[in-house]
Structure 1
Amino acid sequence: MRFAVLGSGSRGNATLIESRGSRVLVDCGFALREIERRLADIEVAAASIGAIVVTHEHSDHVTGVARLATRHGIEVWTSPGTWKGAGAPEVPGLRLFNGHGRGFGIGDLRFRPIPVPHDAREPCQFTVEGDGRRLGILTDTGCLTARIREHLRECDSLILETNHDPHLLRDGPYPPSVQRRIAGPFGHLSNQQAAEVLDAVNHRGLRRVLLSHISARNNRAELALEAVRGVDSGIDAAFLVAEQDRATGWLEV
């Protein structure tokens, strides 16, 4: 089982996951031509993707979903609230799942939704299992919950939001209302909150942590890395940083 983050940040998000020939794209916040280009960068044809799974309806996660699905005949899996919030566009194959349910399978991959606090209709993040491995995905989340802690405890790899540094956010260009939204319980995880998540779910089998959704204005990669490397429980995993403008390349879970 392996994955590649094709881009992460406020201008677009997409993650490709593969196991034994099954390929699933989580979110598509890029225009059609751009997502096809990024897929080509990791030598993947868009037509080979079996499904798109959508976490929530914000534009940096859904901009290209309908066009990519329609162009290549790809199924779309999402929660009812998310699809309604996205305007319920026509797609060739729509599959709705219960965000509080036990999960669903797409080929060799098993998805388990995690309801998260975020300012969207019915937002979910996921654990994804395949070939005996488990990947956790946690972005666009305002705070750590018991459900998140429970789901992410046994992951082999983790994609983890480190959106902002509180001091840079406070002193940055955003008006107070936007700052409150970002830092609030339905906003985005700060570096320190991400470290708390990591401390709560850390275990001996955690191999890789990919820091993601890093704000270009309110954070720096070195600050995010410093925060998570300082976790009290000690982390043996390798730390990597997802970028907005380029794909990570393939990473083993």
Structure 2
Amino acid sequence: MQVSVLASGSKGNAVYVEMDGVRLLLDAGISATRIKKGLAAEGIDAASLDGVLITHEHRDHIAGLVTLSKWYELPIFTRRATIEHMSCRSSIPAERFHAIEGAFCIGDLTIDPFSIPHDAADPVGYRITGSSRCTLATDLGFVTASVQEAIDGADVLVLEANHDPEVLKHGDYPWALKRRILSNRGHLANADAAWALVRMKKRPAHVFLAHLSEKNNTPELAENTVEEILHRQGLDIPICMTAQDRAVHLH
């Protein structure tokens, strides 16, 4: 399995997963040029992608989708409500879209979307299972019981660690935005990400901490917070920090 977090953060998100001969892009929230170059740096032609999985319709997850769909005739998989709420929907041929509900297959992989609590039309995370399992869970206000169940069993987990609540509360964001981020349909705090890892029955081999806020977090703070909680619980789980401006890879 190969996982490359091409970009992660409030300015744009895109994750590449290759497993059992199937190549997938999870979200296209950065420019198509960046996606193309990021994949090419790994020796991958973007035209060889088997599909694009979209988590929700916010711009930082779909910004490159129109150009990507013009350059390559790639199938786009997401919830029907997400398609309907996409600002760019009319710029993408209708036949590219594939509305999803439950689990479905692409090649030898089973893709299982699961609902996440976020302020979007019908947002999801994705559990991708083949010879291994990779799970993406970002943009969620808190870890529900169903999300906790969905992330369990992941060999590789991409998990949000968006902010430190105290940094956020004392920062310069307007109160309405602070309240949104802190809400049950906002973004996941560092400590909440750590406790989600603690509760996992099977420990993942690798964890990417993703969607870090540029204003209300730092990679050092997120990593230290998570690792301190894991250490106190007697757990040692490899942590990898993602970034907004560069790709982070696992081969």
* TM-score bucket (shorter structure): over 0.9
The AA in structure 2 aligned to 1:122 is D
Superposed CA offset, 1:25-44 (max 9, x none): 00000122222122222221
Q: State the partner residue of 1:36.
A: 36
Q: What is the SS of the residue equivalent to 1:234?
A: coil
Indicate conservation of the 8 Å contact 1:191/1:227, yes or no. yes
TM-score by length of 1: 0.93
Q: Could you tell me the percent identity over the aligned residues? A: 37
Would you identify which runs of 4 or more consecutive aligned residues in structure 1 move more than 6 Å? none
Q: State the partner residue of 2:56.
A: 56
Q: 2:97 aligns with which of 78, 91, 94?
A: 94
Aligned residue pairs total 246
Q: What is the SS of the residue equivalent to 1:10?
A: coil
Indicate conservation of the 8 Å contact 1:50/1:74, yes or no. yes
TM-score by length of 2: 0.94
Q: What is the SS of the residue equivalent to 2:134?
A: strand
Consecutive unaligned residues of structure 1, counting only runs of 5 or more, are none
Indicate conservation of the 8 Å contact 1:202/1:233, yes or no. no
Superposed CA offset, 1:100-145 (max 9, x none): x2x11112321111101000000000111122x1112110000111
Q: Which moved more, 1:194-203 or 1:11-20?
A: 194-203
Superposed CA offset, 1:34-55 (max 9, x none): 2212222222111011100000
Indicate conservation of the 8 Å contact 1:207/1:236, yes or no. no
Q: State the partner residue of 1:207.
A: 205
User: After superposition, where does 1:142-181 map in structure 2 within 5 Å?
Assistant: 142-181=141-180
Query: Using the alignment, how far apart are the partners of 2:99 and 2:195 within structure 1?
Result: 32
Q: 1:202 to 1:211 in 2, by over 3 A?
A: farther
Indicate conservation of the 8 Å contact 1:79/1:97, yes or no. yes
Tell me how far 1:70 sits from its aligned partner.
Answer: 2.6
The AA in structure 2 aligned to 1:216 is E
Q: What is the SS of the residue equivalent to 1:126?
A: strand
Tell me how far 1:211 sits from its aligned partner.
Answer: 0.5
Q: 1:61 to 1:159 in 2, by over 3 A?
A: same
Indicate conservation of the 8 Å contact 2:83/2:97, yes or no. no
Tell me how far 1:202 sits from its aligned partner.
Answer: 4.8
Q: What is the SS of the residue equivalent to 2:207?
A: strand
